[in-house]
């Protein structure tokens, strides 16, 4: 018999954010399972600059349109090129809407949550879900789903992507420990996207270890995403001093909390070594924080080998990954616990990987075990320089590791992760009966 689950999130499928994309890949494989997944959240066209076309039954997508006017105009503005007339026009409307919202005391988050709550209740009346899950971030969405399921006496499941609280090398400090503990006591299971985050929640006494489980993101298995020569990287391959150049690719955002100055230092040092065997070009597709962008533009060598492009659609990102030689992943120094989704997202392209991040991050053990790249301290220019040299010299060996460790890499495929999620939900349901009998 088919069981139905409703997953409530701030970035539902149809959006281009990480939360949405995690599930977009899994949907084809969930169709053959005993679980029918429904999703609730804000309408993607109102909250996401880029949207993704979904081949999924519309009746399973429960979207609210309770999105503030200032947010809607901001989204429409950022779909326009700068500084075009439409960009300026929607920017002015955004400012006007924000002024009116401030004047009237409009609370955009409360407005969204009210709409989301009504959407969840309506979907539940229509479909009678076997399980309802809330996803954090946003923690207020998790809290809302907890309250609704408690009132309905429905099995409640918690999905945790990022820790809700401060964290550093010495530990994790929950923002609202009493509330978090009550929510997890009510839940019949908690799924974390990192083993270290799970460990910290358990050690903080927020969640019982028998309820906690962790999974990773996955790589998609849609053949169209693996078509070569469909991106701009497939033409005009650069050469440096007559040597073929490895084309490195970074896909995603580089905000201030993912500093790349040590990486830029490493590139500069390599350039200053006349006997260096490393020849690289880096293409960045997405936002780069102002200080790093300015440094790249003002340094003649960096400006020559680093090209910053606008962000691209999901399919385009995979075509770029297919045509690139090397993938760059950057983890900020304060993100000791998170698995970066983009590492798993592009594994199916079988390209060597350079990961810059804190050495305590659990991804280091994954990279070391697979042998498909190098994980180095993102704050150490010398370590980064040595890694770039090593990858350049051992490139063929790193590529071969994808075949040597094929079974281990397949564990991160969409069909395998989809199966694991179904098992997690199956195991969680019996716990609800025990919780309800307290």
Computed over every residue of the chain, the mean pLDDT equals 91
3-state helix, strand, coil in the chain (%, to 5): 50, 20, 30
**pLDDT recorded at residue 438:** 42
d(CA 398, CA 277): 17
DSSP secondary structure letter of residue 81? P
Within a 13 Å sphere around the CA of 189, how many CA atoms are in the beta-carbon half? 22
Please state which of the ranges 87-91, 337-341, 415-419 shows the lowest mean pLDDT.
337-341
Cα 42 off chain centre by: 18
Q: How confident is the model at residue 406 (pLDDT cuts 50, 70, 90)?
A: very high
Nearest to 338 by CA among 217, 176, 203, 177: 217
Residue 238 has pLDDT above 60, yes or no: no
**Is residue 136 scored above 50 in pLDDT?**
yes
pLDDT of residue 54: 86
> Phi first, then psi: what are they for 13, rounded to 5°?
-50, 140
Give the residue from 81, 63, 183, 171 showing the smallest Cα distance to 133. 183
Q: Are 354 and 389 in contact (CB under 8 A)?
A: no
Instruction: Give the three-state DSSP class for 131.
Output: strand
Phi and psi torsions of 357, nearest 5°: -175, 180
Whether residue 53 is predicted with pLDDT greater than 80 in this model: the reply is: yes
* Mean pLDDT in residue range 402-415: 95
Which residue, among 346, 333, 332, 339, has the nearest Cα to 250 in the 3D structure?
346
pLDDT surpassing 50 at residue 437 = no
Closest CA to 169 of 340, 330, 379, 366: 379
Q: Which helix (H) or strand (E) holds 382?
A: helix 381-393
Count, residues in the chain: 438
Model pLDDT for residues 305-335, shown as the tens digit of each residue? 999 999 898 999 999 999 999 999 999 988 8
- What integer pLDDT is reported at residue 343 of this predicted model? 95
DSSP alpha helix (H) spans, 51-166: 69-78, 85-104, 108-127, 139-152
Q: What per-residue confidence (pLDDT) applies to 2?
A: 87
Contact 130/4 with Cβ under 8 angstroms? yes
> Residue range 397-413: average pLDDT?
95
pLDDT at 432: 66
Kindly state the average pLDDT of the residues 277-288.
Answer: 89
Rounded average pLDDT over 392-408 = 93
Least confident of 70-74, 346-350, 429-433, 434-438: 434-438
């Amino acid at each position: 018999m088919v069981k139905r689950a409703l997953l409530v999130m701030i970035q539902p499928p149809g959006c281009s954010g990480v939360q949405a994309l995690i599930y977009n890949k899994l949907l084809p494989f969930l169709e053959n399972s005993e679980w029918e997944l429904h999703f609730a959240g804000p309408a993607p066209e109102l909250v996401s600059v880029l949207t993704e076309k979904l081949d999924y039954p519309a009746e399973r997508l429960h979207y609210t349109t309770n999105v503030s006017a200032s947010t809607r105009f901001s989204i429409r503005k950022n779909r326009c090129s700068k500084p075009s007339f439409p960009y300026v026009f929607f920017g002015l409307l955004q400012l006007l809407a924000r002024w009116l919202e401030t004047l009237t005391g409009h609370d955009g988050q409360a407005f969204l949550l009210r709409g989301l709550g009504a959407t969840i209740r309506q979907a539940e009346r229509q479909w009678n879900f076997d399980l309802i899950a809330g996803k954090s971030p946003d923690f207020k969405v998790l809290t809302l789903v907890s309250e609704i399921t408690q009132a309905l006496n429905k099995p409640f499941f918690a999905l945790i992507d990022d820790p809700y609280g401060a964290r550093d090398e010495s530990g994790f400090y929950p923002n609202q420990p009493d509330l978090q503990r009550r929510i997890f006591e009510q839940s019949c299971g908690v799924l974390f996207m990192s083993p270290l985050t799970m460990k910290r929640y358990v050690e903080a006494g927020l969640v019982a270890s028998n309820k906690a489980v962790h999974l990773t993101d996955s790589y998609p298995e849609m053949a169209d995403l693996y078509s070569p020569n469909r991106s701009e990287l497939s033409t005009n391959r650069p050469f440096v001093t007559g040597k073929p150049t490895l084309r490195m690719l970074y896909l995603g955002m580089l905000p201030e909390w993912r500093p790349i100055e040590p990486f830029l230092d490493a590139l500069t040092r390599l350039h200053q070594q006349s006997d260096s065997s490393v020849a690289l070009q880096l293409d960045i597709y997405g936002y780069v924080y102002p200080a790093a962008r300015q440094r790249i533009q003002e340094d003649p060598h960096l400006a020559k080998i680093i090209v910053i492009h606008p962000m691209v659609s999901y399919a385009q990102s995979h075509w770029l990954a297919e045509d690139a030689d090397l993938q760059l992943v950057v983890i900020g120094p304060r993100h000791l616990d998170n698995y970066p989704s983009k590492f798993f997202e592009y594994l199916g392209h079988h390209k060597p990987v350079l990961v810059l991040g804190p050495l305590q991050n659990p991804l280091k053990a994954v990279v070391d075990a697979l042998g498909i790249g190098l994980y180095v301290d993102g704050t150490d220019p010398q370590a980064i320089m040595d890694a770039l040299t090593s990858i350049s010299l051992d490139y063929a060996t790193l590529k071969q590791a994808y075949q040597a460790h094929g079974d281990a890499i397949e564990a991160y495929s969409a069909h395998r992760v989809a199966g694991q999620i179904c098992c997690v939900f199956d195991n969680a349901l019996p716990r609800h009966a025990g919780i309800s009998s307290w």
